[in-house]
């Protein structure tokens, strides 16, 4: 088995936050939706790309960038950290910083300075439209932060429009971090929405492309009700079974080790179509196989228990540690609901606890309060229809594994054998 093995076999899989996978499976429908937005002459709709962690929002946003550039759009943006949302001035600096990357090569005439001597032609002073120029323009404009930003953005477009560009996309990841702070009289989220709605009404083709957790869109609507009409929301779902198999098999084409049909089915069952989990499980599996191959040893299948245990430690354990003992009791009740991986209500939690767990009963008011705290911890989120969902993908399965580990060990799903690999010559 170890004969004809290359000296070095590269693992093609890349689990990580925002790492581009070797093969991006699915997402064609989402790409077409984005292309429709790029075709707008007047910006009526901006983009929101939303979904749980591990669904590939950051990666998909990155794949949108070359599509936009090819269609004549400029692109600016970054991650939105909590510091961006501290104040309106912080948000203004963020926008000026990002747009300066695009405009810094643009030369503008700032003033006409008379030359020395009678009858001499005036000299035109030129400068780059860099960050310092934008900041000067911003600071010298009278009015509130919103007035200053609107003026700067409209002025910038007056120069960029001469370059035959369709417009400029402001792409921001982790946009759920934006928030207003009424206690401090700071409204950076509302400011962003007000500014872009205003300049878009004036025909400035600056489009927002925001990605974030499912809490993002309700937060925007709460800040400004017109946000409901301002955005097209694209919600990412897990990959289909066929798409998952492509994400697993395509990266290993031409490699000495490939996945068998049994292993494809098993990894589909483990990962439930979440791109991050696909990359994680495949990378761990591939490393084990390659080591066995190089050593001339046999591998009977995927070491599922060990990989799942490592995934629990690397991905879930830190989030689980945020919950108090009482909150874990509540989460354990939720994990036993038949619909825990979709949506659940306070009544369903209370009723299930009363019927199945007399030692851990909860009142409706107590559940409401705890769910609010769990939302602040990033474990639960409330959608707009009065239902709740886990904010972490497959968290219910992790919690049930914790329950099983107190008795028989890993759940039976992870006991399935598989003739998981084959060697290609």
CA proximity to 369, closest of 409, 326, 306 = 326
- The domain limits of the chain are 28-103+134-235, 240-425
In this predicted structure, what is the pLDDT of residue 16? 76
* HSE (side-chain half, CA atoms, 13 Å) at 195: 25
DSSP 412: G
Q: What is the pLDDT of residues 278-300, one digit of tens each?
A: 999 988 888 888 777 666 666 55
Indicate the CATH number for domain 240-425: 1.10.10.10
**Whole-prediction pTM:** 0.82
Q: What are the CA-CA distances from residue 78 to residues 94, 196, 221 (Å)?
A: 9, 17, 22
Which residue pairs from 27-34 have beta carbons closer than 8 angstroms and sit at least 24 positions apart in sequence? 27/56, 27/60, 27/63, 27/236, 30/60, 30/234, 30/236, 31/63, 31/64, 31/67, 33/232, 33/234, 34/64, 34/67, 34/68, 34/234
Q: Which residues contact 32 (CB under 8 A, 6 or more apart)?
A: none
Q: What is the pLDDT of residues 92-119, one digit of tens each?
A: 999 999 999 988 888 777 664 444 455 5
Q: What is the pLDDT of residues 303-313, one digit of tens each?
A: 788 888 888 88
Element (H, E) at 209: strand 206-212
In this predicted structure, what is the pLDDT of residue 300? 52
Band of pLDDT at residue 21, cut at 50, 70 and 90: confident
Query: What's the average model confidence in pLDDT over 184-203?
Result: 93
Instruction: State both tokens at 90.
Output: 């912080």
Instruction: State both tokens at 231.
Output: 């955005």
**Cβ pair 190, 223 in contact under 8 A:** yes
pLDDT exceeds 80 at position 357? no
Question: Which top CATH class is 28-103+134-235?
Answer: alpha beta
Backbone torsions φ then ψ of 406, nearest 5 degrees = -80, -10
pLDDT exceeds 70 at position 129? yes
């Amino acid at each position: 088995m170890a004969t004809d093995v290359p000296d070095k076999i590269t693992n093609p899989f890349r689990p990580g936050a925002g790492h581009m996978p070797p093969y991006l499976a699915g997402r064609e429908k989402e790409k077409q939706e984005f292309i429709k937005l790029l075709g707008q002459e007047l910006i009526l709709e901006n983009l929101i790309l939303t979904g749980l962690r591990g669904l590939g929002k950051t990666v998909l946003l990155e794949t949108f960038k070359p599509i936009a550039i090819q269609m004549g759009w400029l692109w600016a943006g970054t991650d939105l950290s909590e510091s961006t949302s501290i104040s309106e001035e912080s948000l203004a600096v963020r926008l000026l910083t990002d747009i300066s990357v695009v405009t810094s090569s643009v030369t503008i005439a700032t003033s006409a300075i008379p030359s020395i001597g009678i009858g001499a032609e005036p000299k035109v002073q030129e400068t780059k439209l860099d960050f310092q120029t934008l900041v000067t323009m911003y600071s010298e404009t009278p009015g509130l932060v919103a007035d200053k930003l609107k003026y700067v953005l409209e002025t910038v477009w007056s120069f960029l429009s001469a370059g035959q560009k369709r417009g400029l996309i402001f792409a921001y990841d982790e946009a759920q971090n934006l928030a207003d702070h009424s206690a401090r009289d700071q409204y950076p989220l509302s400011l962003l929405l007000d500014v872009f709605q205003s300049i878009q009404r004036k025909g400035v083709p600056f489009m927002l492309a925001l990605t974030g957790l499912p809490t993002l869109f309700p937060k925007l609507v709460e800040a400004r009700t017109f946000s409901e009409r301002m955005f097209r929301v694209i919600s990412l779902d897990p990959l289909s079974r066929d798409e998952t198999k492509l994400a697993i098999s395509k990266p290993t084409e031409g490699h000495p080790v490939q996945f068998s049909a049994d292993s494809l089915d098993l990894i589909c069952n483990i990962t439930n179509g979440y791109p991050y989990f696909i990359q994680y499980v495949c990378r761990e599996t591939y490393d084990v196989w390659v080591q066995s191959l190089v050593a001339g040893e046999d591998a009977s299948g995927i070491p599922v228990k060990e990989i799942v245990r490592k995934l629990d430690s690397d991905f879930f354990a830190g989030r689980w540690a945020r919950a108090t003992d009482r909150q874990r009791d509540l989460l354990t009740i939720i994990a036993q609901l038949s619909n825990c991986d979709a949506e659940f209500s306070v009544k369903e939690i209370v009723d299930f606890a009363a019927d199945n767990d007399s030692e851990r009963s909860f009142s409706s008011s107590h559940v409401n309060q705890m769910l609010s705290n769990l939302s602040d911890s990033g474990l639960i989120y409330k959608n707009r229809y009065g239902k709740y969902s886990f904010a972490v993908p497959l968290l219910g399965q992790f919690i049930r594994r914790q329950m099983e580990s107190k008795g028989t060990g890993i759940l039976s799903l992870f006991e399935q054998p598989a003739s998981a690999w084959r060697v290609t010559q």
